[in-house]
Amino acid sequence: MALRSILVVGGGISGLTAAVEASEAGSEVYLVEKRPYLGGRVAQMNQYFPKLCPPNCGLEINFRRIKQNPRIRIFTLSEVEKIEGVEGNFTVTVKANPRYVNENCTACGKCAQVCPVQRENEFNYGLGKTPAIYKAHEFAFPLKYVIDDQACLGAECGKCLEACQYQAIELDMQAKSFKLNVGAIVWATGWGPYDAAKIDYYGYGRYENVVTNVIFERLASANGPTGGKLLRPSDGKEPESIAFIQCAGSRDENHLPYCSAVCCMASLKQATYVKALNPAAKVYMFYIDVRAMGKHEDFYTKVADDITLVKGKVGEVSEDPATKDLTLQVEDQLTGNIMRQKVDLVVLATGMVPATFDAKIPLSVSYDEDGFIASDSQQPGIYGAGCVKKPMDVASSVKDATAAALKAIQSTVRR
Amino acid sequence: MDKKTAVYICTGCGIGESLDTEALVKVATKEGKVPVCKTHGFFCGPEGLAQIKNDIENEGVNSVVIAACSSRVNYDVFDFGPAVLTERANIREQVTWTHKANDEDTQMMAEDNLRMSLAKIKHVEPLEPFQGENMVKTVLVVGGGLTGITAALEAAKTGYKTVLVEKNQALGGWLNGLHRLAPRKAPYTMPEEVDIADKIKELSLYPDLKVYTGAEIEEIAGAPGMFDVSIRQDSGISTERVGSVILATGAVPYDATKLQHLGYGKFANVITAQKLEELAGQGKIVRPGDGKEVQSIAFIQCAGSRDPEHLPYCSAVCCVESLKQATYLKEQNPEASVYIFYKDLRAPGEYERLYKKVQQDGAIFVRGDITGIDEDDEKNLIVRAQDVLTLSEISTESVDMVVLATGMVPTTAFGENPEAQTETESGDKAPAGEVILKSNLLNLAYRQGPELPTLKYGFSDSNFICFPYETRRTGIYAAGSVRAPMDEASSAEDAAGAAMKAIQCMELSDQGSAVHPRVWDLSFPEFAMQRCTQCKRCTVECPFGAINEDEKANPLPNPTRCRRCGVCMGACPERIISFKNYSVPMIGSMIKAIEVPDEDEEKPRILVFACENDAYPAVDMAGINGLRYNSWVRIIPVRCLGSINLVWIADTLSNGIDGILLLGCKHGDDYQCHFVKGSELAEYRLSKVSETLDRLSLESDRVRMEEVSIVDYDKIPAILDSFAERLEELGPNPYKGF
């Protein structure tokens, strides 16, 4: 008989969904997440397209589904080290990295108030700082503090130990490895933004006011580094003109040959952030094709009225060193004319790279040349879900994860 | 149930430093007369929990009030099993963390929160899950195309009995007419063989999978776990009892005869994409009229799509389908001329590689709006277009054939529109009447209409991005192109996802549990029928069509269709509907538990009903962020604003409370209410309250509703404070002290 339990790797929207859906149908589920909290990249987003609703709303419901659910066990700060066995009977070695904070933590926050060191806030893609003992973000689930051991001064400092009334801090906590026996595995480790610094001619990393679409989500978020005010990094000025550059890395043989499928809608959505805060702001969107599939067309036509759409691939971005303003050079694909446009801020619509491009599943699984798990993965009992399979938006990821949950259950009932 | 209630007041997380916990103990023991009341600095820690567990095990405590943090946190820690009733009084996030320490008003607030919890737990009864009769775990799939076949196979593979019903004599649907499929695997450049025959064959491997072809659904009556299905096949009727239903009836191409401006029906060699599949399937692509081998072809994208005159939406697959069809011609003759007229070439994801391939093979892509199509003497066609950017006129050489990439229309978009039956007996128009066409697909014997409610353009899609299988008819899930325009790969995934939800619904219904979003909730509404006046409000307003009616207009509840939102409880003017752990008297007694100071004390009171999905967490978040707000506020969480019964408004005002604020989810087209129209109904009902207020000579400004989402916590102080200011202007509620 196959083992009835399921391992889900990745606690973003895909993994979270796969775990909750499988368990609500009766399966025992282990959910392993690398970060100290669940929610993954959607937790870092301000709004979803096309409804412009907050991702935290749906996450809250999913977290409640987990809280009430005795069949899910969560392991945060954990990674899969090894997978052995076959469909129906896998032995998985999981390494749990230390949080240095135990379950006694009440999230009262006294520790963070006394912590003397600051670290880069990776939740905000490096914009702003947090103490070395920190809560990943306001909606973090589980709502427990965590210590960044790279930044923490250790026992010599010990200020947080004194501040904590609940003996919740254990500076000597060690990484632990343990084994799980499961019948099936859902691999939902998600995606990362394409490294925009590789697109040399757009100046990301050199020009402060060239940001990426994922960073822009943080800039627009009320719980982001600017408190939801859109301010450009160089001088904190509210930008009067913003350019979105589509296909920054995508649909490009030198970078990502495929279309990342979500960036057009993401930029249109981000244009609404700008317009909501400053209706007079000029918004440009430079694109090859606007891919607003299905009913998203409605959103496109609505936003298109408020912004300037230019069909053309931006050739180069240059910076005025004095003002830090940016000038885009665009070749209009049809007329061949060169257009120059000066703006305050540039947002690169960088594409999606599957997490499996670098971090492969520790078992023989086939991938396509872009690192996506192949539709025929050649490994029964292991199922990709979400953006490790192909670039997709949130609704498609949830759909895909729900399907993957069923496939995983099938592996556990096969005789 | 004989309750022995214990109260545990936590003094940790700053509570002990900012509140007089001894006074709180007195509220519990003197006023509430609870036999056990304890304080501890760390109730969620091992020692604190041990005390509670000891009282449960050795002292006979079976109902517990924890006065500490919000119910949003430590949910698992304070779960003492189904035999122990647990209630949380929030004195951390919503008192200590949001209000001045050691302040009289803060203390009064904490005491009231405890009083409300004590009042509430008195009314809570242990839950007995609903058990239906002869419940089954069989999945019904309606539609035998790719989506339906896949859904049936997926359910069968998981070990569930399955019934598949297809209208045509042959299974396979749309795929039967296709020559090739767009590429689904690397290198993503070569169309693939149509493999539907293999899938059809696979169906026969599962003995518990029953297939009806040439069959239609005559009727589906009942509820999840207990649907009775009549299937008409030939002239006979078969019946099946099933647990859940998947609607997979797909879409049809947009009617090309409406596209005369593109020459369809006028010129013989203007054909649809569907027709080209047929021609390609017959071998060489030749013209239907004269049999001439096609050497040049023009594809016209968005033929009827992205067009306000026809289909305003994008049909999502036509660009890729045309790219695929371009390869047919190039395969036949690499020298053939291929033109593709488009607005935006939409080849998402890895389809980009197919696009690139077709470009490399020499197809000419023209971005422009079609201005006209002409036919020459040899029945060849000339396509004229205006370039979108340069506005210059472009035209093709004469081509042998023009292919219209027509879009897709869901099968749920057809059918007679019956008079929306939203009239209640009093003639009130309820808001958000859903349009349900008589599409002859499911033929539900539901009072609310025979099919799934649809969203825009007739697609039976979910309104929720994060919950694509959210459905407004419990246990019935749409999948594939009936839900949204989608390609084959997405349809197959969607089929598996819908099968997952269908199976889950049967498993949960079997345990008496609600489905999404209140899974694990074992409560369900009970109707005290002797007091029913047959007003139909509950049947009309239930967002999920859970309640039928008998011929005398008595409500006939279907607990397994119910989503436990309580909208019916809010709707009922006779207050005959209640849950064992959520009822009109329960909230009424919480309202009465609030101590209302005399007018001369100048301490107004504001009651907030907060939606527990979004608004209540938003208020908690204000606390987590250390924001401050008015301490006249008292908050009662509700399952949905739609569950608010208007009698609570009267109870509140007659108790001397000065104002009432409803905090709930956004409504309208992009509603965020997880019970579809709960917050909208609340607003509608509030509009009726003004009459009551007039009768009581009270200003209607005393009752207000605000939309908040979970991330609006930064706005909470302003919302509460501005309402308090307005109430100060209005002066005290004249009923104070009565």
- Split at pLDDT 50, 70, 90, the class of A377 is confident
Same domain, B158 and B78: no
Residue A363, SS3 per DSSP: coil
Same domain, B227 and B267: no
Inform me whether the pLDDT recorded for B432 exceeds 60. no
The amino acid occupying position A131 is P
Q: Give the pLDDT score at B295.
A: 96
Which residues neighbour B33 within 8 Å (Cβ) at sequence distance 6 or greater? none
DSSP B97: T
Find the domain containing B590 and state its range: 582-738
Residues B200-224 have pLDDT tens digits of: 999 999 999 999 999 999 999 999 9
Q: Pick from A258, A395, A405: which is nearest to B352 by CB?
A: A258
Same domain, B183 and B285: no
Residue B487 sits in a domain whose CATH number is: 3.50.50.60
Domain boundary (A350, A377, A393) is at: A350
What does the mean pLDDT of chain B come to? 94
Q: CA separation (Å) from A260 to A246, B359, B698?
A: 10, 19, 58
Is the Cβ pair B500, A399 closer than 8 Å? no
What does the mean pLDDT of chain A come to? 96
Residues B578-628 have pLDDT tens digits of: 999 999 999 999 999 999 999 999 999 999 999 999 999 999 999 999 999
Residues A190-207 have pLDDT tens digits of: 999 999 999 999 999 999
- The string over B315-332, giving b where at least 16 C-beta atoms fall within 10 Å of a residue's C-beta and e elsewhere, is bbbbbbbbbbbbbbbbeb
Kind and range of the H or E run holding B325? helix B318-332
B494 inside 8 A of chain A by CB: yes
Same domain, A200 and A224: yes
Tell me the chain A residues in contact with residue B459 when contact means C-beta distances shorter than 8 Å: 295
Alpha-carbon distance of B99 to B720, in angstroms, equals: 13
Residues B275-324 have pLDDT tens digits of: 999 999 999 999 988 999 999 999 999 999 999 999 999 999 999 999 99
Inform me whether the pLDDT recorded for A208 exceeds 60. yes
Same domain, A22 and A48: yes
Which residues neighbour B111 within 8 Å (Cβ) at sequence distance 6 or greater? B23, B24, B27, B595
Is the Cβ pair B69, A394 closer than 8 Å? no
First to last CA, chain B: 34
B485 inside 8 A of chain A by CB: yes
Same domain, B262 and B246: no
Tell me the chain A residues in contact with residue B156 when contact means C-beta distances shorter than 8 Å: none
Residues A139-186 have pLDDT tens digits of: 999 999 999 999 999 999 999 999 999 999 999 999 999 999 999 999
A104 located within any domain: no
Residues A290-348 have pLDDT tens digits of: 999 999 999 999 999 999 999 999 999 999 999 999 999 998 766 678 899 999 999 99
Residues B22-72 have pLDDT tens digits of: 999 999 999 999 999 999 999 999 999 999 999 999 999 999 999 999 999
Q: Which of B186, B493, B351 is nearest to A367 (CA)?
A: B186
Phi first, then psi: give them for residue A268, nearest 5 degrees.
-60, -40
Report the pLDDT averaged over residues B386-405.
87
Query: What is the count of structural domains for chain B?
Result: 4
Angle between helices B646-654 and B678-695 (to 10 degrees): 40
B289 located within any domain: yes
Is the Cβ pair B469, A290 closer than 8 Å? no
State the burial class of residue A89 (Cβ atoms within 10 Å of its Cβ: 0-12, 13-18, 19+).
Answer: middle
Phi first, then psi: give them for residue B450, nearest 5 degrees.
-85, -5
Task: Provide the 10 A C-beta neighbour count for residue B425.
Answer: 12
- The string over A224-243, giving b where at least 16 C-beta atoms fall within 10 Å of a residue's C-beta and e elsewhere, is bbbebebbbbeeeeebebbb
Residues A165-177 have pLDDT tens digits of: 999 999 999 999 9
**What are B697's two structure tokens?**
């000579």
Q: Got the DSSP string for A202-238?
A: G-BTTBTTEEEHHHHHHHHSTTSTTTT----TTT-PP
DSSP B668: S
Are the CB atoms for B636 and B628 separated by under 8 Å?
Answer: no
Are the CB atoms for B708 and B663 separated by under 8 Å?
Answer: yes
The amino acid occupying position B341 is F
Nearest chain B Cα distance for residue A56, angstroms: 7
Alpha-carbon B705 to chain mean position: 22
Q: CA separation (Å) from B153 to B181, B205, B220, B229?
A: 20, 9, 22, 20
Q: Which of B277, B253, B248, B244 is nearest to B146 (CA)?
A: B248
Residues B454-509 have pLDDT tens digits of: 999 999 999 999 999 999 999 999 999 999 999 999 999 999 999 999 999 999 99
Substitution target in B15, B246, B711 with the highest count of A β-carbons within 10 Å is B711
Same domain, B345 and B399: yes
Nearest CA in chain B to A60: B613
Same domain, B666 and B586: yes
Find the domain containing A142 and state its range: 110-163
Same domain, A278 and A316: yes
Phi first, then psi: give them for residue B511, nearest 5 degrees.
-90, 0
State the burial class of residue A278 (Cβ atoms within 10 Å of its Cβ: 0-12, 13-18, 19+).
Answer: middle
Residue B497, SS3 per DSSP: helix
Alpha-carbon distance of A95 to B25, in angstroms, equals: 46
Q: CA separation (Å) from B517 to A77, B307, B562?
A: 28, 36, 11
Residue B613 sits in a domain whose CATH number is: 3.40.50
Inform me whether the pLDDT recorded for B424 exceeds 50. no
Q: Pick from B349, B464, B666: which is nearest to A261 by CB?
A: B349
For a pLDDT cut of 90, what percent of chain B falls above it?
90
Same domain, B267 and B148: no
Domain boundary (A308, A325, A350) is at: A350
Same domain, B621 and B707: yes
Same domain, B117 and B191: no
Same domain, B728 and B592: yes
Alpha-carbon distance of B636 to B643, in angstroms, equals: 12
Nearest chain B Cα distance for residue A316, angstroms: 22
Is the Cβ pair B504, A24 closer than 8 Å? yes
Domain boundary (B101, B126, B151) is at: B126
Inform me whether the pLDDT recorded for B422 exceeds 50. no
- Split at pLDDT 50, 70, 90, the class of B692 is confident
Nearest chain A Cα distance for residue B506, angstroms: 9
Alpha-carbon distance of B176 to B186, in angstroms, equals: 24
B371 located within any domain: yes
- Side-chain-side CA neighbours of B43 within 13 Å: the count stands at 30
Nearest chain A Cα distance for residue B234, angstroms: 35
Query: What is the count of structural domains for chain A?
Result: 3
A366, β-bridge pairs: none
Residue A49 sits in a domain whose CATH number is: 3.50.50.60
Residue A255, SS3 per DSSP: coil
First to last CA, chain A: 6
Kind and range of the H or E run holding A352? strand A352-354
Is the Cβ pair B313, A104 closer than 8 Å? no
Is the Cβ pair A53, B709 closer than 8 Å? yes
B2 located within any domain: yes
Same domain, A179 and A253: no
Task: Provide the 10 A C-beta neighbour count for residue A86.
Answer: 12
Alpha-carbon distance of B133 to A151, in angstroms, equals: 61
Same domain, B236 and B260: no
Same domain, A201 and A180: no
Residue B51 sits in a domain whose CATH number is: 3.40.50.450
Are the CB atoms for A247 and A289 separated by under 8 Å?
Answer: no
Residue A327, SS3 per DSSP: strand
Same domain, A144 and A218: no
Q: Pick from B45, B159, B466: which is nearest to A413 by CB?
A: B159
With the C-alpha atoms ordered A214, A218, A219, A220, is the resulting torsion angle positive or negative?
positive
- Split at pLDDT 50, 70, 90, the class of A50 is very high
| ipTM, two decimals | 0.96
User: Nearest 10 degrees: CA dihedral of A104, A110, A115, A118?
Assistant: 100
Is the Cβ pair A138, B624 closer than 8 Å? yes
Same domain, A150 and A35: no
A123 located within any domain: yes
Is the Cβ pair A294, B484 closer than 8 Å? yes
